[in-house]
């Protein structure tokens, strides 16, 4: 315990004063347990009698209490910490780097509570939460326990920055048969979530001022990474076939990276056809640029044949492929992976080492067994069937209660829907969201996914974490809020329709 014993007078009084100062400053909270007199004496290099005298004095003054002479703690009635006041002219605005200033002043990063659970919402359609009732918890616990029991002394040391070899080998085999990804295990880098994967790609491939092509609309978590590094963002519109490759900038525009979600565009959910994928790869070759393919939820496709990844068509080493287990398993696992062109492997591994040295190994070991034993793909089949059923219920409930007042986009894959409110302008979305919250329904706007706000109000509905009954009840309550809102607003001008249900907001 750090205590200042400087000053005059008997040592026990100086110790007592130091403990009172710590309590008043809030460093020792009410109820906090203090070290035993013997332990504190050893820690401070004083006699035990000195500590006992100080404790007895503070107990007499009501600062400390002792229970059965076994433990000493701060009394519940001890004076609360005094509020801290800053002296004029002492506290100054800190001098930050350009990167730090962008993070704190320019980007408007979400608060730490942005993704916290909201128990007041009985029916929360927040995107990104999986249906954990289907997850084989007992299997996962057994795998974790088995690896924990078998852990050798070496397992408590540092791990390889690129990730556990057995997990990378399991992923290489799985990606080849499920996504058509062409790679060897040594091209895979395990990262702590897809957000770290995006950040590593940006740090390795971009300098301040470099151009980055982004879909419009797009995943804001990627945009914030590129903006924080000082990249020059170029929005390219999305239509019913994904990124419009005819609108890509000229090869001479200084673009170093295109950040795309071709298999399930976020947030619209549309799928990029093969012709556009080929066009994007040809553009990257001419521009000498790389492509970051965020394949965040490709496992959940409900109509048509599975599509191979964009990386499978890449013959020049232009595509960095990013996958995650946050949507397929659970977010707290914090495991994702990059498949890196061989020429970039050394740079990405070094960047990973500098970022956090390596990703925790126990979860990697359990996940490797989860994949190789077949549990992962069996679980995916069950989760896909369950998500498909919930998707049908959500679409049916929206159409039953809201009919032609809405337009649904991206309904054949993923774990969310984009819903346009045809007769509500964009500035009316917040009132509807607040009204829905009052009846216990959580819905979320899409404004932050655009460089330029859309003309109509749009909402994102995640459905993977809700039961079918909850979806029906939640949409019924939501519709009761939207119906009065419609009668109070003048209809927005009719917008031209794009292919596959896309609207003019995305152009």
- 101-154 pLDDT, tens digit per residue, is 888 776 666 555 555 667 788 999 998 888 888 899 999 999 999 999 988 777
Q: Which of 401, 468, 409 is nearest to 436 (CA)?
A: 401
The pLDDT assigned to 107 comes to: 67
> Residues 363, 415: one domain?
no
Q: Does the residue 144 lie in any domain?
A: no
> Residues 325, 473: one domain?
no
Write down the mean pLDDT value for the chain: 88
**Sign of the CA dihedral with 222 first, then 447, 209, and 238 last:** positive
Phi-psi region of 411 (alpha: psi -120 to 50; beta: other; left: phi over 0): alpha
- Write out pLDDT tens, residues 360-411: 999 999 999 999 999 999 999 999 999 999 999 999 999 999 999 999 987 6
Who wins on pLDDT, 27 or 323?
A: 323
> Residues 363, 434: one domain?
no
Q: What is the pTM of this model?
A: 0.82
Q: How confident is the model at residue 483 (pLDDT cuts 50, 70, 90)?
A: confident
> Residues 220, 344: one domain?
yes
- Write out pLDDT tens, residues 52-76: 999 999 998 889 998 876 789 999 8
> Residues 299, 326: one domain?
yes
> Residues 384, 311: one domain?
no
> Residues 57, 180: one domain?
no
Contact 255, 249 (CB under 8 A): yes
Q: Does the residue 20 lie in any domain?
A: yes
> Residues 325, 395: one domain?
no
Is a pLDDT exceeding 60 seen at residue 284?
yes
Q: Which of 459, 444, 219, 172 is nearest to 327 (CA)?
A: 219
Give residue 28's domain range: 11-74
Q: Does the residue 1 lie in any domain?
A: no
CATH number at 294 reads: 3.40.640.10
What number is the average pLDDT over the span 164-171? 97
Is a pLDDT exceeding 50 seen at residue 495?
no
Task: Please give the Cα distance from 182 to 401 (Å, whole number).
Answer: 46
Q: How confident is the model at residue 492 (pLDDT cuts 50, 70, 90)?
A: very low
CATH number at 60 reads: 1.10.10.10
Coil, strand or helix: which one is 443? coil
Q: Does the residue 494 lie in any domain?
A: yes
Q: Does the residue 299 lie in any domain?
A: yes
Number of domains comprising the chain: 3
Q: Which of 477, 486, 394 is nearest to 440 (CA)?
A: 477
Contact 186, 345 (CB under 8 A): yes
Phi-psi region of 66 (alpha: psi -120 to 50; beta: other; left: phi over 0): beta
> Residues 326, 458: one domain?
no
> Residues 335, 210: one domain?
yes
Is a pLDDT exceeding 90 seen at residue 460?
yes
Q: Does the residue 58 lie in any domain?
A: yes
The pLDDT assigned to 505 comes to: 43
Lowest mean pLDDT among 31-40, 88-97, 128-137, 486-495: 486-495
> Residues 168, 255: one domain?
yes
The pLDDT assigned to 453 comes to: 87
């Amino acid at each position: 315990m750090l205590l200042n014993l400087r000053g005059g007078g008997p040592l026990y009084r100086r110790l007592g004063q130091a403990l009172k100062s710590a309590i008043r400053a809030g460093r020792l909270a009410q109820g906090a347990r203090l070290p035993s007199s013997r332990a504190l004496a050893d820690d401070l290099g004083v006699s035990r009698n000195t500590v006992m005298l100080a404790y007895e004095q503070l107990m007499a003054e009501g600062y400390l209490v002792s229970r059965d002479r076994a433990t000493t703690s701060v009394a519940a009635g001890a004076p609360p910490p005094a509020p801290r006041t800053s002296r004029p002219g002492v506290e100054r605005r800190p001098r930050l780097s350009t990167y730090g200033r962008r993070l704190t002043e320019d980007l408007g990063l979400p608060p730490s509570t942005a993704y916290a659970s909201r128990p007041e919402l009985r029916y929360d359609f927040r995107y990104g939460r999986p249906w954990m009732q289907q997850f084989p918890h007992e299997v996962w616990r057994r795998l974790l326990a088995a690896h924990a029991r078998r852990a050798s002394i070496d397992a408590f040391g540092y791990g390889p920055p690129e990730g556990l070899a057995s997990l990378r080998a399991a992923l290489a085999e799985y990606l080849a048969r499920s996504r058509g990804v062409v790679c060897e295990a040594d091209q895979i880098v395990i990262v702590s979530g897809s957000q770290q994967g995006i950040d590593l790609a940006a740090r390795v491939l971009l300098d301040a001022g470099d151009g980055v092509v982004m879909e419009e609309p797009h995943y804001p978590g990627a945009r914030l990474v590129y903006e924080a590094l000082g990249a020059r963002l170029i929005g390219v519109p999305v239509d019913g076939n994904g990124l419009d490759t005819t609108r890509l900038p000229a090869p001479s525009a200084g673009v170093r990276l295109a950040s795309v979600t071709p298999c399930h565009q976020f947030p619209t959910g549309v799928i990029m056809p093969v012709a556009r994928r080929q066009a994007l790869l040809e553009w990257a070759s001419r521009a000498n640029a790389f492509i970051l393919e965020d394949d965040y939820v490709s496992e959940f496709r409900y109509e048509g044949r599975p599509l191979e990844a964009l990386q499978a068509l890449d013959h020049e080493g232009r595509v960095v492929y990013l996958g995650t287990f946050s949507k397929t398993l659970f977010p707290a696992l914090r495991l994702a992976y990059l498949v890196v062109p061989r020429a970039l492997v050394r740079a990405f591994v070094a960047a990973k080492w500098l970022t956090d040295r390596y990703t925790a190994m126990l979860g990697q070991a359990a996940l490797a067994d989860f994949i190789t034993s077949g549990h992962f793909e069996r679980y995916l089949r069950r989760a896909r069937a369950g998500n498909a059923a919930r998707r049908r219920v959500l679409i049916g409930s929206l159409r039953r209660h809201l009919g032609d007042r809405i337009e649904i986009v991206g309904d054949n894959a993923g774990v969310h829907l984009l819903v346009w409110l045809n007769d509500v302008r964009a500035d009316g979305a917040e009132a509807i969201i607040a009204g829905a919250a009052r009846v216990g329904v959580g819905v979320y706007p899409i404004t932050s996914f655009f460089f330029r706000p859309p003309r109509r109000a749009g909402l994102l509905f995640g459905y993977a974490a809700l039961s079918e009954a909850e979806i029906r009840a939640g949409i019924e309550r939501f519709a009761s809020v939207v119906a009065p809102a419609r009668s109070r607003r003048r209809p927005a001008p009719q917008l031209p329709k794009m292919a596959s249900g896309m609207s003019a907001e995305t152009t």
